[in-house]
């Protein structure tokens, strides 16, 4: 098969216009010949299709399920349009409520009075409150230490999983080379 004929048949295949005879010719070409440069992916596709065998007919009710899925997606599109209108309106309503609440808060606000006349006593009370807040924050930080340990364990776990995945990938690659060499010339492989 010439390169031009191959290009034409592959173009028809990908556009869905090829006949069964043309597809059979492509399958036979890629199975019988080594891959033409630039067509390695097509060789893999046709090899897979050959190994997979015949494509089964769709099950009963397949077309009805597709139509039902299309109808449900159109219903979701209608509900998404409704949400696109509802979300901005709720935002506007929330803004109006905040403005009205702020107005009533500031209009009816009562001025606070100083509770301490002596500035030294006020300073001492302020320091007492700040120390109490500081100790409570420190207690909260201590209770969060296990969460930090969990994060460290997560990072270590993902690191070991990545190492395992890399090892498996290397082993699969070497098995792929072995399979390719076995397919190329099975007589050269000696089993001990």
Q: What is the pLDDT of residue 64?
A: 84
Cβ distance 49 to 20 under 8 Å? no
Whose structure tokens read 């890629």? Answer: 30
Cβ distance 6 to 27 under 8 Å? no
**pLDDT tens digits, 62-87:** 888 888 887 777 777 677 777 788 88
- Regions in the chain scoring below 50 on pLDDT: 192
Alpha helix (H) ranges present in the chain? Answer: 3-15, 20-32, 40-52, 62-107, 119-143, 145-184
**pLDDT tens digits, 30-45:** 777 766 777 777 777 7
Q: What is the pLDDT of residue 12?
A: 86
Nearest-angstrom CA–CA distance, 74 and 171: 47
């Amino acid at each position: 098969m010439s390169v031009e004929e191959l290009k034409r048949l592959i173009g028809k295949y990908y556009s869905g216009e090829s006949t069964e005879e043309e597809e059979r010719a492509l399958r036979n070409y890629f199975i019988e010949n080594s891959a033409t440069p630039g067509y390695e992916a097509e060789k893999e596709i046709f090899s897979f299709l050959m190994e997979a065998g015949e494509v089964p007919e769709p099950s009963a009710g397949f077309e009805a399920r597709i139509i039902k899925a299309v109808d449900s997606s159109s219903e979701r599109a209608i509900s998404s349009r409704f949400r696109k209108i509802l979300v901005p309106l709720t935002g506007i309503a929330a803004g109006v409520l905040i403005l009205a609440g702020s107005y009533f808060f500031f209009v009816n606000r009562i001025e606070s009075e100083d509770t301490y006349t002596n500035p030294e006593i006020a300073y001492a009370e302020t320091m007492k409150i700040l120390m109490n807040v500081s100790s409570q924050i420190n207690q909260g930080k201590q209770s969060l230490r296990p969460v930090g340990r969990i994060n460290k364990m997560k990072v270590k776990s993902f690191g070991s999983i990545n190492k395992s995945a890399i090892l498996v990938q290397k082993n699969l690659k070497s098995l792929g080379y072995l399979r390719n060499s076995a397919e190329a010339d099975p007589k050269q492989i000696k089993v001990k």
